[in-house]
């Protein structure tokens, strides 16, 4: 029970990395607020945790809206009495996956930055405020991407993740004197989540299998990355086992970046 008694917030908890992480946090003893812009999927994850004996509740929240993020964190504190872990996991793809730089509109650019960077900024800012108010340490985890470590294409999405990585490191340095840690996981392409569908990709069983083969072939370890892989790293990074790890950008990429 790595997270026994901890109060955690996970954003994007209705799907993919967020859903897998919320479940793993709960399985390790955390009480989990499952936040998502889609209330039904947030409720589904929370219900699945409660049905297996865990403690969770759903909150509808658009992380690009500061008032929503404040409300979300307040809901966690009201319910759990404190806040220990904030996992800013939400990220959206470019609306038309594969779009070149010049095909991005101003509103594409603004939405990508508002959600991917703005959402994490609000989450980090208000987590730090709450941790300092409690006069306790606290842990922030953000979901970055390999796309913010190397240029894979997807210029605007990659730029949001690069910015998020730098935000993570800066929060780690500012938070360190207060015992606040901040890290990011940086996954490589995950074919089995809803992320690529959100980018307009046609995710049939056949295309998912093709993308899985393609991504696996690019990783030295030779298999596609899954949401569960990310959740396992997330549990470790938010736990006290990682007490000396802060400011780290951890690739979950089968060795791709190392190559």
Ligand X SMILES: NC(=O)c1ccc[n+]([C@@H]2O[C@H](COP(=O)([O-])OP(=O)(O)OC[C@H]3O[C@@H](n4cnc5c(N)ncnc54)[C@H](O)[C@@H]3O)[C@@H](O)[C@H]2O)c1
Residues that bind ligand X (CB under 6 A): 11-12, 14-18, 36-38, 41, 61-64, 89-92, 115, 119, 143, 145, 187, 189-190, 193-195, 198, 227
Buried b (16+ CB within 10 A) or exposed e, 120-147: bbbbbbbbbebbeeeeeebbbbbbbbbb
Distance CA 46, CA 106 (A): 36
Between 27 and 92, name the residue whose CB sits nearer to ligand X: 92
Are the CB atoms for 6 and 85 separated by under 8 Å? yes
Distance CA 127, CA 44 (A): 25
Between 38 and 55, name the residue whose CB sits nearer to ligand X: 38
Known catalytic residue at 157? yes
Catalytic residue, chosen from 157, 215, 225, 231, is 157
Return the closest-CA partner of residue 45 out of 26, 30, 73, 61. 26
CB of 70 to ligand X, least distance (A): 14
Between 54 and 199, name the residue whose CB sits nearer to ligand X: 199
CB of 161 to ligand X, least distance (A): 7
Between 143 and 183, name the residue whose CB sits nearer to ligand X: 143
CB of 203 to ligand X, least distance (A): 11
Distance CA 198, CA 196 (A): 5
Q: What share of the chain is helix, strand, coil (3-state, %, to 5)?
A: 50, 15, 35
CB of 65 to ligand X, least distance (A): 8
Are the CB atoms for 247 and 172 separated by under 8 Å? yes
Distance CA 86, CA 88 (A): 6
List the catalytic residues: 157
């Amino acid at each position: 029970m790595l997270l026994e008694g901890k109060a955690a917030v996970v954003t994007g908890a209705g799907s993919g990395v967020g859903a897998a992480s919320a479940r793993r946090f709960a399985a390790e003893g955390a009480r989990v607020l499952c936040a998502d812009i889609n209330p039904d999927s947030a409720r589904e994850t929370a219900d699945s945790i409660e049905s297996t004996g865990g403690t969770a509740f759903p909150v509808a929240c658009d992380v690009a809206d500061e008032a929503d993020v404040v409300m979300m964190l307040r809901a966690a504190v009201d319910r759990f009495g404190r806040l220990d872990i904030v996992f800013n996991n939400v990220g959206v793809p470019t609306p038309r996956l594969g779009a070149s730089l010049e095909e991005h509109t101003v509103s594409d650019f603004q939405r990508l930055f508002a959600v991917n960077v703005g959402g994490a900024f609000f989450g980090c800012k208000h987590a730090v405020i709450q941790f300092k108010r409690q006069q306790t340490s606290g842990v922030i985890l953000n979901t970055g991407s390999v796309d913010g470590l190397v240029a894979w294409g997807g210029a605007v999405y990659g730029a949001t993740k690069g910015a998020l990585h730098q935000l993570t490191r800066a929060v780690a340095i500012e938070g360190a004197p207060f015992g606040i840690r901040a890290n990011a996981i940086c996954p490589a392409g995950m074919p089995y989540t809803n992320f690529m569908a959100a980018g307009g990709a046609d995710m049939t069983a056949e295309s998912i299998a093709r993308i899985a083969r393609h991504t696996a072939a690019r990783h030295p370890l030779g298999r596609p990355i899954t949401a569960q892989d990310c959740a396992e790293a997330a549990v470790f990074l938010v736990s006290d086992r990682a007490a000396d790890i802060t400011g780290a950008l951890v690739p979950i990429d089968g060795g791709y970046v190392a190559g």
